[in-house]
Each structure stands twice: as C-alpha cells, then as structure tokens.
Amino acid sequence: MDQLYYNVNELMEGLRFEYLSTGQKIIRKAIVFHETRIPFLYSLTLGDIDADGKLSTESRSNNGDMAKNLATVYRTVEQFLINNPRALIIFSGNTTSKTRLYQIAIAKYLDHFLDRYLIWGIRCDNDQRETFQLNQAYQGFFITNKVLSS
C-alpha cells in the first residue's frame, strides 16, 4: 500500500497507537486494539482523543486527510499482526457510512491485502461471515495473517 501515513507512537505494549492528524487542523487520534474474552480476538477502535484524554468514536473530524488516516490504520494493523501473529481483528464503523468507507478501502487494495491476510465480511442481509467479496454489503470485518509465523 503506497499511501502516505502518519507516524504513530506505540503504547500499552502495542495495544494502542497514537498520532497527530494534521489536515485542516491538528487532531490527536488513537487506534486501540481491545482484547476480547475470546482468545486471540481483538476489536479495533479508531477515534479522536478529546481534550480530557478520553477516546471519542462519535466525532466527525472531516479533517481533509481521510486517505492518510486509513493508511495509518492499515500500518498499525500490519504492525499489530506482526507482533501478534495469531490475532484475529474485528472492526466496523460506528455508522453505516464509516463501515462503507472501510469496505471501499478494503476493496481498493484487496489484491495487495490478500497476499498477506485473510479478510472476511459480515453480511448485512444475513449476519453470516464470508470471505470478503467485491460488491457485497458488509456490517463488519475480520482480518488475520494468512500464514502463521512460528
């Protein structure tokens, strides 16, 4: 993926990545991997860091740097899966439009992603998981390494 991305600070033993989005304004952002009760399953969250230090997933920054933010998320997923080769990551947008944005980004770079990762979508029409398909509506996604390293 040959897209510009932000440099991140890795925190909390690689479960949190923070950076500054420098589009039309400067916004502190965080990408967090939350370990679930299911072994090796992690939920990915992207949000703005509020003035009080709390992560807000409800904000709409419209900062003019969407592609750079998505590339930054991809780079942190890549690093996370290198550090946690057995991990399975689940994610979706907090709105239908954000989920659709993620789907478009995955579709755009699908050939690149499939060299290294397995990607599934959770279908909107029947809640079933399937290998990611172009032109299929999804409500969420899973990603993991294609080949587990030892």
Q: What are the angstrom distances between the C-alpha of 5 and each of 21, 67, 86, 105, 113?
A: 10, 8, 25, 14, 17
Q: pLDDT for 57-112, tens place per residue?
A: 888 788 999 999 999 999 999 999 999 999 999 999 999 999 999 999 999 989 88
Tell me the pLDDT band of 147, cut-offs 50, 70 and 90: confident
Tokens linked to 2: 């040959």
Q: What are the angstrom distances between the C-alpha of 15 and each of 30, 46, 79, 128, 143?
A: 10, 12, 10, 28, 16
List phi, psi (to 5°) of 71.
Answer: -65, -35
pLDDT at res. 61: 80
pLDDT at res. 26: 95
Q: pLDDT for 68-78, tens place per residue?
A: 999 999 999 99
Q: Is the Cβ–Cβ distance between 122 and 109 less than 8 Å?
A: no
Strand partners, 114: none
Longest Cα–Cα distance of the chain, Å, equals 43
Strand partners, 118: 144
Give the position of tokens 């703005």: 48
Measured over the CA atoms of residue 102, residue 71, residue 65 and residue 53, the dihedral's sign is positive
pLDDT at res. 39: 96
Q: pLDDT for 16-56, tens place per residue?
A: 999 999 999 999 999 999 999 999 999 999 999 999 989 99
Tell me the pLDDT band of 150, cut-offs 50, 70 and 90: very low
Q: Is the Cβ–Cβ distance between 56 and 103 less than 8 Å?
A: no
| Beta carbons within 8 Å of 136's beta carbon, 6+ residues apart | 121, 123, 130
